[in-house]
Amino acid sequence: MALDPTRAETINDGLTRSTIAVLIMAGALLAASSLWAQTADALVAEMEGTDERSTGPLAPPDPAAREVALGALGGGGLLLIPESSNDRVMAFDATSGNLIDPDFIPADPGNLSTPIQAMLSPDGTQVYVSDQVDDVVQAYDLDTGAFVGTFAPAGGANTAILDNIRGIAYRPNGNLLVSVGSGANADAIAEFDGGGNYVGNFVANGAGGLDSPFDVFAVVSPGGVLAAGDFLVPGISSDAVHRYDSTGAAQADFASLNSFGEQVAQAANGNVLVGNFSGTQEGVVEFLPDGTVFGIYDPPSLGGYRGAYELPTGNILTTNGSGVHEIDRAGNLVETKIAGVSARFITLAGGGAGSDVPRTTFAVNKDFDDDNPASVEVTLSCNTGLPLQQSATIEEGVGVVFVVVDFNSGDMNCEVSEGSHLGYATTYDDGTAINTTGCAYTGVNWGDANTCVITNSLQVVDVTVTKWWMDENPQFNAVNYAEAAYDCVNEQFGIQAFGTLEFLGDGDTQDFSVFPHWNGTTTCNVNEIVVENGIEFDDSECQGLSVTPGSGASCNIYNTRLYEGIPTLNHYSLALMAMLMLGVGFVAFRRYG
């Protein structure tokens, strides 16, 4: 079917005059041959993201499938693939390519129109989804799949910045790159900071001849003409896979491509894979690192290729308007993983090199053995790299995931530690060893998902009691022996401290141990037990002693020995006796042993 010239006038302004001419020529060619598998109308719809049809009512999302997917995310990784028939994001096993959860991000036509690519946020808590028609990058909660809000542009859609967007990627510093196909900022790669704020174009409009970019890919494995930090961008109207350095400056094209390159990926051997929607090279095109075509894989039953991803078996997972498919390098269809959906780009989340962003994570969790809810500051320090956050305040049940970007895989060493917490001993478990200094990691690689569990163990504190005798006199051979009973309430772990202390001699000190409660409600009492007649005692200092973690307590018990019913002077009556002596003269009395 030839392109209607009237329709051409209304095509999104990202379609240049040269593009329209190409499409009209394509329509003419279709009348005489089958050179291209895609019609001109299909090309226009693909460029605009408008050829989508709902598959009808969907089954409710399966919570069990979601749990399996989240488990895979923390293991070998998860493949996220949006499908624009129902405006949702599907999750697939990264090893087999099999479908795990078709509703990892459930259908959300209110916030998605034509989702193209989904990837984890740098902190690993959200999923970012680029939407071709709504011109925004949306954010969804990773754990629940619930819509969070628009991430970029901050504040909502702004077609002066993003219009007809497609693939996305991260710079090593964590900034998000978005390919822009239309509008005032057409033919550029826009850049956004961690808050979704537009910070300018990483690749300038039309730089290096770029016309209608459909993806932006951060090179994972340098080699051939590909340098570390390079980005590859297919231009569907410029018929090339363009190459840009780490600053966004145009380099010599990586390769020419006829004619509609969509997603770019790298294979384990460093070769470059491109899902090519149409043209004389329609299929998944494999290039050597020097840009030479190595192979084109186009099973007869497929066509209109979009996504490309190499499975560990060496087979290729690809997507098109009819589903997700596994093909081999002989050009055979091995298996269709899901049919009847218009599937888009394939992104590895959480699985190491080749994942959505060259980064690593450190998940830190806290455990107080007495369930103390106190907050503690934890810190991540590395010898290189760029931590997106270096310190955080966490508590039991509320941890933090530190993310580090911008480092060479294998070159980084990191440590997680926390400040001291009074009254507790700290141990660190990094998954390989337990120590008392910190969780240590050496030779950290891209995509590593590191863990650190910090345990704070409550330590006992001592309550110290000292016995004082006010009349100690060797001539009477006083034994000065006494006993005291102690007991405590509201101790931690359900323990109750109680027992008896024995004192012999003036200034004798005894103590007992207590596990104090974190909330400060532990109190202890020490009461003297009278073991000898004629003893006056004062243990008031030892009543209601407050005992808290990291802080013991102390008190004194004073004894006065009585003679013939008249007490000797204790420490409280000395002042009174002095006053009496001054007022009525010297008062004498005889002491008897």
In this prediction, residues 226-249 reach a mean pLDDT of 95
Kindly report whether the peptide bond that precedes residue 153 is cis, defined as omega within 30 degrees of 0: yes
Length of the chain, in residues: 593
Whether residue 53 contacts residue 86, with contact meaning beta carbons closer than 8 Å, is answered with no
Q: Which residues, 6+ apart, have CB-to-CB distance to 60 below 8 Å?
A: none
The H or E element containing residue 457 is strand 449-458
Q: Any idea which residue has 């902190």 for tokens?
A: 123
Chain centroid to CA 264: how far?
A: 26
Region 482-498 average pLDDT: 93
Give the DSSP letter of residue 215.
-
Whether the bond into 259 is cis, omega within 30 of 0: yes
| pLDDT class of 124 with cuts at 50, 70, 90 | confident
Dump pLDDT digits (tens) for 312-321: 899 999 999 9
- The pLDDT of residue 53 is above 80: no
Q: CA-CA distance, 486 to 29, in Å (whole number)?
A: 100
Hey, what are 135's tokens? 């011109």
Q: Is the pLDDT assigned to residue 405 strictly greater than 60?
A: yes
Q: If pLDDT is split at 50, 70 and 90, which confidence band does 589 have?
A: very low
Confidence of residue 351 (pLDDT cuts 50, 70, 90): low
Q: Give CA–CA dist 547/124, Å, rounded.
A: 42
Q: How confident is the model at residue 402 (pLDDT cuts 50, 70, 90)?
A: confident
Hey, what amino acid is at 473?
N
Q: Which of 70-84, 162-176, 209-223 has the lowest mean pLDDT?
A: 70-84
**Is the pLDDT at 23 greater than 90, yes or no?**
no
Give the count of beta carbons closer than 10 Å to the beta carbon of residue 331.
Answer: 15
Q: Cα–Cα distance between 258 and 239 in angstroms, integer? A: 5
Sheet holding 434-435, edge to edge: 386-387, 400-405, 359-368, 449-458, 424-429, 434-435
| Element at 379 (helix H, strand E) | strand 376-382
307 three-state secondary structure: coil
Q: What is the CA radius of gyration of the chain?
A: 38
Which pair of structure tokens corresponds to residue 410? 């294998």
* Residue 33 in this model has a pLDDT that exceeds 70: no
Q: What percent of the chain clears pLDDT 90, i.e. is strictly above it?
A: 64
Closest CA to 231 of 180, 288, 189, 181: 189
Instruction: Please give the Cα distance from 318 to 273 (Å, whole number).
Output: 10
Banded model confidence at residue 570, pLDDT cuts 50, 70, 90: very low
Separation between Cα atoms, residue 258 and residue 236, nearest integer Å: 8
For 537-552, write each residue's pLDDT tens digit: 899 999 999 999 999 9
In this predicted structure, the answer to whether residue 13 has a pLDDT above a threshold of 60 is no
Q: How confident is the model at residue 108 (pLDDT cuts 50, 70, 90)?
A: very high
- Residue 429's CB is within 10 A of a number of other CB atoms, namely 16
Q: DSSP characters for 101-152?
A: EEEEE---TTT-SSEEEEEE-TTSSEEEEEETTTTEEEEEETTT--EEEEEE
Reply yes or no on whether the pLDDT at 25 is more than 70: no
Residue 356 confidence class, pLDDT cut points 50, 70, 90:
low
Average pLDDT over residues 521-533: 88
First to last CA, the chain: 127
Q: Per-residue pLDDT for 18 more than 80?
A: no
Tokens of 295: 């192979």
Least confident of 146-150, 232-236, 348-352, 503-507: 348-352
Mean pLDDT of 453-470: 95
The per-residue pLDDT for 153 is 98
Which residue from 445, 485, 217, 453 is spatially nearest to 352, judged by alpha carbons?
A: 445
Is residue 583's pLDDT more than 50?
no
* Mean pLDDT (the chain, rounded): 85
Residue 54's pLDDT is what?
A: 65
Check residue 333 and give its pLDDT. 97
Confirm if 164 and 183 have CB atoms less than 8 A apart: yes
DSSP characters over 425-436: EEEEE-SS-EES
Q: Is 465 left (phi over 0), alpha (psi -120 to 50) or beta?
A: beta
CA dist., res. 561 & res. 575, Å (int): 18
Smallest Cα–Cα separation from 159: which of 138, 177, 134, 137? 134
SS3 category, 590: coil
Q: What DSSP element (H or E) covers 155?
A: none
**Range list of β-strands (E), 479-552:** 481-489, 498-504, 508-514, 523-529, 535-538, 545-546
